[in-house]
Amino acid sequence: MTRLGQKVALITGSSRGIGAAIAKRFAAEGALVALHGRDTTALSAVRAKIEESGGRVMHVTGDVTQFNDIEAMRGQIEETFGPIDILVANAGGNPTRPNLALEETPELGFRAALEGNLTATFLTLKSVLPSMKRRRTGSIITMSSAAARRPQPGSPLPYATAKAGIELLTQHVAAEVGPFAIRVNCIAPESILTERNQQLIPEAQKGQMIEAHPLKRLGTPEDIAEAALFLGSENASWISGVILDVAGGAVLAR
């Protein structure tokens, strides 16, 4: 039996990396998957992979920092698949380089990090929650980062701040919508070898990073996908308001 049979799942930021891995895993478990991104070529490639495996999938495009765009995407999903049962608010990113002191951090970079991560998550939840509340069902998964869990010099301050805000937002909303039987949880990954990181991180640095993790390896997008599947499924039916570190022990070790 599949764990997400016929559940409608929207995964924002799913044209590649963690989001794409979650989308593929959800589709394999029977979900009707709505991909989201801005790169239509990348979205089409993920969609093709899911369809080759027999999954049901569509894709939408839009700017998740603009509420009207999100509302339009939600309308398209509801028209094709029906109301959203599972939301993975994964879209985000780090627009500033690390190792900047606060006074060296550009204002525009700070604002961009908040907009692209915290505001985007807030607006996506704002769009999806009313239908979930009317139906008194739903599972929401937000995406933080180990950068928000262990403040340290050298980490990108704007990104870490935005992700810390997502964690508080997650727990606030979990308390607010619990009476509607809606669960809201957050995943905080650390050192995930996405396609981009595989290319950008030198092999010597990868070795140093591996040594910083008690489990002596770096994470994969599939590691995060398995955590998302658990939180999105009925296996986690009595879990809400949790910040789940998927970090190879690195957060614990510090």
Per-domain residue ranges for the chain? 8-247
- Lowest average pLDDT, out of 151-160, 213-222, 227-236, goes to 151-160
Which of 44-48, 152-156, 187-191 comes out lowest in average pLDDT?
A: 152-156
CATH superfamily of 8-247: NAD(P)-binding Rossmann-like Domain (3.40.50.720)
Q: Return the structure tokens found at 81.
A: 């698949």
Q: What is the pTM of this model?
A: 0.95
173-225 pLDDT per residue, tens? 999 999 999 999 999 998 898 888 787 788 888 888 888 888 999 899 999 99
**pLDDT average, residue stretch 1-28:** 96
pLDDT at 1: 63
Q: Which amino acid is at 39?
A: D
Of 17-31, 49-63, 143-157, 180-194, the poorest mean pLDDT is in 143-157
What pLDDT sits at residue 200?
75
Q: Catalytic residue numbers?
A: 159
